[in-house]
Chain A
Amino acid sequence: QSALTQPASVSGSPGQSITISCTGTSSDVGAYNYVSWYQQHPGKAPKLMIYDVSNRPSGVSNRFSGSKSGNTASLTISGLQAEDEADYYCSSYTSSGTRVFGTGTKVTVL
């Protein structure tokens, strides 16, 4: 049950697009379309941003999009805004019926 691998930090200027990668294995990310992404602001609980690789819950901006290729999933934030500055975590269902989170990525808006 090793954590999924994410870059420690990603940054971009307002209006730009950034992409966060999430690399797992053929037993988790590569095996199922059950990849989700969470946003966490300091001192706050995580918030679901994407589920099932690319679906957005009601109320989440369409500036957030997700995709997957093989064992790597990605979250793209387009039209970056100051309020997007936060930590982002991916998560995947695993072949043992458990879940695993990514190592987390700090997004900085320059």
Chain B
Amino acid sequence: GAGVSQSPRYKVAKRGQDVALRCDPISGHVSLFWYQQALGQGPEFLTYFQNEAQLDKSGLPSDRFFAERPEGSVSTLKIQRTQQEDSAVYLCASSSQGWGNTIYFGEGSWLTVV
């Protein structure tokens, strides 16, 4: 596709509800990243995939957060039993293989937990 596509763009969840956020990376991009951006803050790293392999999940804040990319393309970030502190923008990004290649961000999924 032309850019990184994320859905839904906006999600309101009741506390305790499970949510799933989808990311369609740029076609052919090997690397895929998830970031969390709180209001007024810089994005914070959550997890990184190279193809279907999740190489780094050190930024996931709790075991309620789970990400997958089963076929090395589309990725899903799942948050179980959402809490109010999970309210943030979840940004997906992708890049082609190699050092220093531009990382392209999607417009984000805005999650509000009420």
Q: A and B, one complex?
A: no
Q: Spell out A's residues near B (CB within 8 Å).
A: none
